[in-house]
Structure 1
């Protein structure tokens, strides 16, 4: 696949894909004789993985560390697992925080709805 096809498939800007390759988040993508990147299925799997992890909020630095460990082979299995266990813990904490924020927003919205109904009753305006 070309970079434009990968960009469209994963909804990631081409510049972002180039950046990810430049900083080592995805391994070097092979190029054809014209110098155009040719993404393999393996390359696309890396793109999908990085997109998923970034979407969950994992920092680029952590992902760079993971890729570096991955490239070192199976002797880094425990280190990679430990890295993800810690990121999972942090993600769960963020999710808890977000749930609390969502509950607070729901409460505030309900308060506004009650005040709007009361104001309409007091002012004698019909509901829309």
Structure 2
């Protein structure tokens, strides 16, 4: 598919897609005879995974590290697994912290509702 169609499906601007290619998150993008990028369903699957990593707070440098390992092939599966496991631990800690913040806010709101604090 062309960049416009891919951009729409991926929910990313063409500028972002070109940036991802520049920083190594999208590699080996095929080109047609006119030199235009041609994206595949596998590219879409990969971009959606990159978006998920980004949405869960993985730093860009770590996503780039994961992408480099992925490009090296099957011999890096254990390294990729370890990277994702570490990110999972960080994400779980962040979620717990956010739950604590939410509880504190709820407690404050309940105080206001009970008219105990003005």
Alignment TM-score, normalising by the size of structure 1: 0.82
Q: Are the equivalent residues in 2 in contact too, given 1:70–1:80 (CA < 8 A)? A: yes
Q: Cα 1:114–1:14, aligned 2, differ >3 Å: closer, same or farther?
A: farther
Between structure 1 and structure 2, the one with the greater Rg is 1
Q: Count residues with an aligned counterpart.
A: 118
Q: Are the equivalent residues in 2 in contact too, given 1:27–1:43 (CA < 8 A)? A: no
Structure 1 partner of 2:83 = 83
Structure 1 partner of 2:13 = 13
Alignment of 1:96-111 (within 5 A): 96-111=96-111
Deviates more, 1:70-79 or 1:81-90: 70-79
RMSD: 1.9
Q: Gaps (5+ residues) in structure 1?
A: 120-128
Structure 1 partner of 2:39 = 39
